[in-house]
Structure 1
Amino acid sequence: MAGKVSWGIAVPQVFFDGPIDMPLIQRWAKRAEALGFESLWTQEAITGAVPILEPVTLLAYLAAVTERVRLGTSVIVAPLRNPVQLAKSLGSLDQMSAGRLIVGLGLGGNPNDITPFGISPEKRVRRFTEIIDVMKALWTQPEAHFQGEFWQLDGLKMEPKPIQKPHPPIWLGA
């Protein structure tokens, strides 16, 4: 017996020909939820000439205007982020959305997009895996302990924890 197919849809977050249209985004999200889509997805592009909204901020907005649909990032370029700040933002978003968050993380495709952040492209895979470990430690341990190449935690406390246990699902993509 085949499993149930679930459908997600990307949220409009790129506006080439004019100002960002938040009423359009709200209508889109509410309509997708009403049509039975299981998830809404945002993407990340921090640099570049394309006017694109930051994904975690946009998902916070979507959490406020929807009720049931899951909310996902497709994908956050993890090596560009500080895992302590990212864990806090995503944990807060899981709380604000009543446990509807799906965390999509990726390495980033173009090494030239990483160097402006002071990150060596050769170290991005190690940073990526360490970021995931740091976030999991912060989400699951009352006092997080972690010793890595890039980050060290010695009894760091972070509240609130995500609603989903042990943490929101983490999907890997590119």
Structure 2
Amino acid sequence: MVKPPNLPRVTTVVLLYLVVTAMISFGGVLGETVMLYPNIFRDPPASLELTREFMVAGSPSDFFPPLGLSISLSAAVGTLLAWRSPARWWIAAATVVFVLAEFLFSAWFFWPRNTIMFVDPVGTHSADYLRQVAAEFNAGHWVRVAGGALTSGLAFTGFLRWYRLRTGTATAPARSPATGQ
């Protein structure tokens, strides 16, 4: 006879996985911001051409889409598994923020600009247009940074709430000394 999975333990593992992957994604975005972006956007279009030459073996587009899918799936599953817990709202909020700020915003805003800067043949667009697109990309990037920070914080808080409720270490609300309530 096959023993059914321990659902609270599975939930804990899924939520922990969500927290770790969300933080890895946020850290990756911060790493891009401070290490890659100053070089990529230093002097478009020359710096964009140099970036194309440098990022041949691998680039952020090889790393973030699979990670984003993993985060989306673990967030959705974690939300469903934690639905009967008060932690659900934290996990659901992390899911919504990630999908809106990291996936939908990226698809709508970043993907077309990535195509213009890194996929379209060199010389397709004027230098002024590439500078404009690079400036737009840099400005919009802060939405992604904020979304990653918020997703990580919400997921971590949700996990902490789940874990504390699960282990019985959740703190009771403070009582007012005056009213006793």
State whether TM-score is above 0.5: no
**In terms of Rg, which structure is larger?**
2
More strand by share: 1
The structure with higher relative contact order (CA 8 Å, sep 6+) is 2
TM-score (norm 1): 0.26
More helix by share: 2
TM-score (norm 2): 0.25
